[in-house]
Amino acid sequence: MDTITDTGRSTATRWTIAGVAGLLGACAVGGVAAAVRDDAPDSVTFAVFAVMTLPFVAALVAIALDRTEHPERAEDSIESQWTTRASSGAFYDTIIAMGLATFATSVLDTASLPLWLFVLLGLADMTVRLVLLQRREG
């Protein structure tokens, strides 16, 4: 059964858009990987990178198109809500940075970045977000 989201876009439409965008993104990643890497035939490199990228790009687009409202819990204090919002945003930023770094190092065939850089990025990101939230809403 199709459900209509707040923006009027049906779930099937959202997944269709996500699938097409995922396919285009996967082909782009496969093409870049095939052009840059030389450790396997181009067709194999293209196929492997495209197949492995497709579900992640499609899921990212589907999440970005989802506009479902999620109400806050009334029993939380404002400081608790700020911390939750700051840590949530920092987590997503850290995951995106790790994904982009993994993508770049695998496509360009370079050395990977140390994990402690992402820990520092996450902590710094949360700190900045928390200070900004406190100043803006406090």
Q: Which residues contact 78 (CB under 8 A, 6 or more apart)?
A: 137, 138
What are the mean pLDDT values of the chain's consecutive 10-residue runs (138 residues total)?
54 87 94 92 94 92 79 70 90 92 88 88 93 88
pLDDT computed for residue 6 by the predictor? 47
pLDDT computed for residue 138 by the predictor? 74
